[in-house]
Amino acid sequence: SQELEQSPQSLIVQEGKNLTINCTSSKTLYGLYWYKQKYGEGLIFLMMLQKGGEEKSHEKITAKLDEKKQQSSLHITASQPSHAGIYLCGADTSGTYKYIFGTGTRLKVLA
């Protein structure tokens, strides 16, 4: 099984709707990152969370970290077609700067 599980695996929403993507770790988190990827391209850094309870926002995207539950959520408000892509969470679960990634959530936003 994956050390980082993301849910849902894919999501189709109507433009303007809110949505949430979850990332759950089976191990301790030493820093969690959210990235976005367009198909076949590199990953674009969205935000980094390090402390339990930490919450960060960038434009219409908000990410939270629940250290006790070893879980993070990414919330998009009023989704737009430009939000479409694959969202990946990445984390160091060993404390050795070895970053692993979740399986990704494929988001499609219908105009």
Partner 1 sequence: KAGVTQTPRYLIKTRGQQVTLSCSPISGHRSVSWYQQTPGQGLQFLFEYFSETQRNKGNFPGRFSGRQFSNSRSEMNVSTLELGDSALYLCASSLGGQRGYTFGSGTRLTVV
Shortest CB 1 distance to partner 1, Å: 13
What does DSSP assign to residue 97?
S
For 98, which DSSP code?
-
Residue 12 in contact with partner 1, rule: CB under 8 A: no
* 92 near partner 1, rule: CB under 8 A: yes
According to DSSP, residue 17 is labeled: -
In the complex with partner 1, the residue whose CB is nearer, 62 or 99, is 99
Confirm or reject binding of residue 13 to partner 1 (CB under 8 A).
no
Closer to partner 1 by CB, 31 or 77: give it: 31
107 belongs to the binding site for partner 1 (CB under 8 A) = no
Span interacting with partner 1, options 10-18, 59-67, 75-83, 88-96, rule CB under 8 A: 88-96
Contact call for residues 50 and 63 (beta carbons, < 8 A): no
C-alpha 14/C-alpha 95 separation (Å) is 39
CB neighbour list of residue 72: distance below 8 Å, 6 or more residues apart: 22, 23, 29, 32, 34, 49, 63, 64, 65, 66, 89
Binding site for partner 1 (CB under 8 A): 2, 30-31, 33, 35, 40-45, 48, 50, 88, 90, 92, 96-104
